[in-house]
Structure 1
Amino acid sequence: MSSARFAVRTMTRRDMDMAVAWAAMEGWNPGIHDAESFFAADSNGFFIGEVDREPVATLSAVSYGDRFGFLGFYIVKPEHRGKGFGMQIWNAGLGWLQGRNVGLDGVVAQQDNYKKSGFKLAYRNVRYEGRGGGHLSADGGLQPLTALPFQAIEAYDRPFFPEERSRFLSAWIFQPQSTALGVVKNGSIEGYGVIRPCQRGFKIGPLMADTPEVAETLFLALKAGVPPSEPVYLDVPEVNREAVALATRHQMDVVFETARMYTGDAPEISLDRLYGVTSFELG
């Protein structure tokens, strides 16, 4: 099949649903309502590669301002791999993010290839699997995020991400069927977290907290609304020892890992207070 018939275009919102379905088939277990939030982040940052108008490859290259971008959804349909289509859509995405420090969460099988494209390892993210259930504490300063000013949530979130991401955040924390909680003490947010339904089970992400105790309060509250028969996932930056300890303490098992990589220097973010990554697809 000639690569001359291959063309890359920007995804539509409907295409996003297909990309999420492909991610599910890859075993990445995306959230049921992720597509809407992803598209809100950067509607021009999602690409689809087609051969004679048949979709064969996807890639997200979401820009956050003029200085940072994040790659995800790098998928080529199995029957079309090895034909150069992946590299063509990859180059299109990097071209879109030209001039920015670009991050990604690389699966083990692709990490050497990413290094060849100039990406450098910063740290590992590890996916833990546990179970739902437990009791929702009546104290601890828990409040639904819907009761808090969005500007306050946005300000708390800012140290945890390289650039402002208000469009994405406003969609993410209020997505359907999700629960978003914050811990507020003396009028200030000391942590927040979101849990959402996925193709299998539920994922907590992000989970951010000023102290291990606040992280524990949020973690227990978020998973309390999930039936004990359902799996709960938490994607932990391995460099945060307290986050690893949280997952271990609650008898969660390692099921997946990625390498957080950047083309430039690793951004200075509050990893010591980041207990759960928002999304492997968009950072």
Structure 2
Amino acid sequence: MNTASTVRPLSRAELEIPLRWAAQEGWNPGLYDAEAFHAADPEGFFGAFLGNELIGSLSAVSYGGRFGFLGLYIVKPEHRGQGHGMTLWRTAMEYLRGQTIGLDGVVERQADYGRSGFALAYRNVRYQGIAPGRQPPATATTVPLAALPFETVARYDAELFPAPRTTFLRPWIGQSESAAFGLPKGGGLAGYGMIRKCHSGWKIGPLFADTPEGAETLFLALRNHAGPGEPVLLDVPEPNADAVALAARHGMTVVFETARMYQGAIPATPLARVFGITTFELG
């Protein structure tokens, strides 16, 4: 007879364990993601325990009680098929009750999520390329985000994400070994992006811009931060044909995809301005 697990929120230190599992699963999280993840919603990361042993995780981050996002859904292999994942799922869904909820699910689980009331919105496609080494900047229009008022960045970000996420955004764009740039426009922005060090290579995300040309400028500035010959990854919402073309133009190839699904109203995100999502784990 299987022993029931106990579910409770994870501490900041405990969150490092599911992130290590995610790396073992091949999901390739950032080396410094935990700080920003936990800041997004300190009560939204759940762990399943057998005694004192953490054996499963599921994040259910709530952005201001308006929008929730599920991720880091992992049960240790030796404990799978015993109901621990469903216990986590029920706890997370109860935590996000009454909110629109999103997730980036692996394609083979799409039908399972559908039975839980999630509808497919579009695919997110992970592209990978190789950094050619530092190239001359195409233009001088990008500036480090740190040189801009944080409120300017947060205001632009809120146009392209379903809810404000300032507590997440500040540590996200300030990660160690990362780079973040913006495209100033008047007193605001015409785009911004960041690149961070991951277990394998570097990920660009988000990559937001008003125009394909702006996205290209930011992409080149961010890619310059990676060393020559290192992998560079970009998670593209497939409906944005200009983003798909950008990845193809720079010799990037598809290595992974997810099903972006929602329970509740699908957010009216202007995907034509989303050239790279922030992260599969938090949206």
**TM-score interval (norm. to shorter):** over 0.9
Change in Cα spacing, 1:20 to 1:84, as seen in structure 2 (3 Å) is same
- Is the 2:100–2:262 contact (alpha carbons within 8 Å) kept by the matching residues of 1? yes
**1:259 and 1:134 mapped to 2: Cα distance?**
34
Q: Deviations over 1:68-109 (max 9, x none)?
A: 100000001111111111001111000110111100000112
Contact 2:138–2:217 at 8 Å: present in 1 too? no
> 1:122 — aligned with what?
121
CA contact (8 A) 1:73 1:281 kept: yes
Aligned to 2:58: 59
Q: Which residue does the alignment assign to 1:263?
A: 263
Match of 1:23 in 2: 22
Map Cα deviations across residues 248-280 of structure 1 (whole Å, 9 max, x no partner): 111101000001000012101121100000000
Equivalent residue, structure 1, for 2:199:
199
- For 2:92, what is the secondary structure of its paired residue? helix
- In 1, are the aligned partners of 2:195 and 2:205 still within 8 Å (CA)? yes
Look up the equivalent residue of 1:11 and give its one-letter code: L
Q: 2:223 corresponds to which residue?
A: 223
| Corresponding letter in the other structure for 1:244 | V
Q: Following TM superposition, by how much is the alpha carbon of 1:121 offset from its aligned partner in structure 2, in angstroms? A: 0.2
CA–CA separation in structure 2 for the residues paired with 1:69 and 1:140: 37
After the TM superposition, which of the residue ranges 22-31 and 62-71 deviates more from structure 2? 62-71
- Contact 1:141/1:185 (8 A) holds in 2: no
The residue correspondences of 1:29-108 to structure 2 (distance < 5 A) are 29-108=28-107
C-alpha contact 1:3 1:85 (8 A) present in aligned 2: no
User: Helix, strand or coil for the counterpart of 1:44?
Assistant: coil
State the Cα distance separating 1:223 from its structure 2 match.
0.5
- Rounded to whole Å, the distance in 2 between the matches of 1:261 and 1:172 is 24
Structure 1 residue 159: Cα displacement: 1.3
Q: What SS does the aligned partner of 1:177 have? A: coil
How far did 1:134 drift? 4.2
Q: CA deviation at 1:136?
A: 4.1
% identity of equivalent residues: 56
TM-score, normalised relative to structure 2:
0.97
Q: 1:138-177 deviations in whole A, cap 9, x for unaligned?
A: 6341100000001110111111111110000011011111
Report the alpha carbon displacement of residue 179 of structure 1 after superposing the two structures with TM. Answer: 0.1
User: Distance in 2 between the 1:251 and 1:25 partners?
Assistant: 27
Aligned residues: 282
Could you say what secondary structure the match of 2:73 adopts? strand
Decide whether the 8 Å contact of 1:178 with 1:194 is kept in 2: yes
Q: Distance in 2 between matches of 1:222 and 1:107?
A: 27
1:177 counterpart = 2:189 = no
Letter in 2 for 1:94: M
SS at match of 1:281: coil
Higher mean Cα deviation, 11-20 or 131-140? 131-140
Decide whether the 8 Å contact of 1:136 with 1:220 is kept in 2: no
Q: Is the 8 A contact 2:139 2:217 kept in 1?
A: no
Aligned to 1:9: 8
Q: Which residue of 1 aligns with 2:150?
A: 150
Gaps of 5+ in 2: none
Structure 1: runs of 5 or more not aligned: none
SS at match of 1:3: coil
Following TM superposition, the consecutive aligned residue runs of length 4 or more in structure 1 with deviations greater than 2 angstroms are 1-4, 185-188
Shift of 1:53: 2.1
Superposition RMSD in Å: 1.1
Query: What TM-score comes out, normalization by structure 1 length?
Result: 0.97
Taking the aligned partners of 2:210 and 2:69, their CA distance within structure 1 comes to 25
Contact 1:3-1:84 within 8 A present in 2 as well: no
Amino acid at match of 2:197: P
Offset of residue 125 of structure 1:
0.1
- One-letter amino acid matched to 2:137: S
